[in-house]
Structure 1
Amino acid sequence: MNRWLLAGWRAVDVVYRNCRRFDFADYQGDNLFRVIVKPYNGPDVRVGEKWLRKGDRVGELHLYNYRLLNIVSVMTSEVQMGLVALREVRKSLPLLADFLKRSPQGRAIEALVGITILHRGAASLGFSVFDLEDSWYKRVKTFYMRLMLRICHPIGYRRYAEKGEHPSPKRVVMMRDTFFRKYGQKPAGVTN
């Protein structure tokens, strides 16, 4: 990736994070996620044996795109990029669990929810994946996320186009108890 593009992305990211007011953001560390704690505004969904309903407190996940791009920008292999991205996500989830345990906002949430075009590996991480309802919101998100994919990962975008596929964002959800069972056993950095 062009280093000028990466520098531009960083400048845009500073404006974005100041507008969004994240409840959790690890700008000095290694976490790829940022979180806004807010009422859930999507349709009611059944996740395992539980329901996530409109108005429930959720941690809205936002991927720290600049950090991820900075990590994978020096790689040339698509497979290597995917493996490194997955490793970084797996490394970030226990750090996120630590925030949820320690902060009053984090303790109030019932689920983690995100909208992503990078949903293929989400189920293996423990997330349930749902289609977005057809709306202006879905159309805007689809346009924005496809544009990001085209800019950040042109080879991956071309691969979709060659197969006649059109990547579409989906809602990923993991209930609090499932999240802590998978990622919250010990604070981040504890090895024994």
Structure 2
Amino acid sequence: MKKIFIYFWSLWEFIFAKLNRIHTVGGHDSEIRIAIKKYKGEKLLLKDGTVLNNGDKFGELHLNNKVLTEITSSSSSPIAVGIIALKRFKKSIKALKTYIDEHHEFDDVNVFMGYTLFNEGVEMLGFEVRDIKSPLEKFIVTHYEMLLLAIFHPDGFKRLRDNKFTSKMVLITKNTINSRY
């Protein structure tokens, strides 16, 4: 039953990615996918001085759920999974740098952001982590991502009982990517 659900969810993600122009960065087994969107919200000032204003373009980051399944099932130790994930994401950010350098539609994109349950330790990669301001949006995103984790993680809903998850906004600037990677 779970395999059928994963199949249909993966099909939905494929269609969603096509409709929203989400592109895989660095090959089909990359952890990161990206789309260009227009920011709608209050002005954001990032640590390096980069500003994201309402109406500015930004890179919307998406995680590849199949790859995340591989990472989370690679070990029963959360610390080992975290180390593996950080190494793989570091490699993916290098691929992101190459991708944005080669695709000129990113020339005027200075901020890359996404929402994730997996936000611990990403500061080591140059990301800033912020709370999702809207309580409704935070609730929806957190529960949506918890559902995905239950679907794709080998332990399913058991995984959710062990931890208290909260989605966060993660952001990284083009300046940070260029200086670190």
Question: TM over 0.5, yes or no?
Answer: yes
Does the aligned pair in 2 maintain the 1:132–1:171 contact within 8 Å? yes
- How many residues align? The count is 175
What is the aligned partner in structure 1 of residue 57 from structure 2? 57
The residue identity in structure 2 corresponding to 1:46 is L
Structure 1 residues 29, 144: CA separation in 2 closer, same or farther (over 3 Å shift)?
A: closer
**RMSD over equivalenced CA pairs, Å:** 2.3
Q: TM-score, normalised by structure 2?
A: 0.83
Residue in structure 1 matched with residue 42 of structure 2 by the alignment: 43
TM value normalised by structure 1: 0.78
Q: Measure how far apart 1:82 and its partner are.
A: 2.6
Name the CA distance, whole Å, in 2 between partners of 1:65 and 1:29.
11
Structure 2 unaligned segments of length 5 or more: list them.
none
* Cα 1:39–1:28 shift into 2, 3 Å: same
* 1:137 matched residue in structure 2: 137
> Deviation of residue 41 (structure 1)?
1.7
Between the aligned partners of 1:122 and 1:28, the Cα distance in structure 2 is 22
| Residues 9 and 66 in structure 1, CA contact (< 8 A), matched pair in contact too | no
Contact kept? 1:30, 1:92, Cα under 8 Å: no
Counterpart CA distance in 1 for 2:30 and 2:151 is 23
Task: State the Cα distance separating 1:36 from its structure 2 match.
Answer: 0.8
Structure 1 alignment gaps of length 5 or more: 184-192
Structure 1 residues 26, 101: closer, same or farther in 2, change over 3 A? closer
| Contact kept? 1:115, 1:172, Cα under 8 Å | yes
Identity %: 25
| Offset, 1:59 | 0.6
Comparing 4-13 with 48-57, greater Cα deviation is found at 4-13
Cα deviations across residues 26-50 of structure 1 (Å, max 9, x unaligned)? 4844321111112212332221133
